[in-house]
Amino acid sequence: MPEAVGTVLLAAGRGTRFGASPKLLSPLDGKPLVRHAAEAALAAGLGPVVAVLGHAGGEVRAALGGLDLILVENPDYAAGLSTSLRAGLGALPDDVAASLVLLGDMPRVGSGLLVRLAEAFRGAAVAPSAVVPVRDGRRGNPVLLNRRLLADGLAGLTGDRGAGPLLARRGDVLELPVEDPGILVDVDTPAALAELS
């Protein structure tokens, strides 16, 4: 039986660079931005999917209505991304060995990429601390985190940063070359959203 791989969908941030309206609710191809990421996570069929809510939590919850998600409220979301990452990982069942960390503003990440990251983790001769997609020499998102190897470091994360600084110090990160341009495309501004439409 392959190791269980969950997904944490980070959907709590304020998206301050986007302007006054909640970024994750902005429409793209007929549905809210955040729903693209959630549907990709579910379509991958890997394991439980936890969506972490914070800013505009009620509206984001409504935008994700009808999807088989574990919804978690992060009351500390304003303290930065690290608080949402910890909340999401903490909501996964203990038997989930690893978790993909999916950003709610990356609508061009498809389920196939998520499956490839999980397969790379499961197929490694020695379990890596993380699996990171790489395109044109640049690390992108989503990343897969080994919850067992990184437990102490993840518990100590603070501020508005994810696991990047933690992984930068490790030699056991598996880089997975991909052709998928979506790993480098996040939506921070209305102009960036318009380019995807």
Distance CA 113, CA 179 (A): 10
What was the pLDDT predicted at 118? Answer: 96
Domain 4-196 has CATH 3.90.550.10: yes
pLDDT at residue 189 in the model:
72
| Tens-place pLDDT, residues 114-147 | 999 999 999 999 999 999 999 999 999 999 999 8
From 193, 188, 192, select the one nearest 14 (Cα to Cα): 188
pLDDT tens by residue, 149-173: 887 777 777 777 778 888 888 899 9
User: Which residues does the chain have with pLDDT short of 50?
Assistant: none
The H or E element that residue 89 is part of is helix 81-91
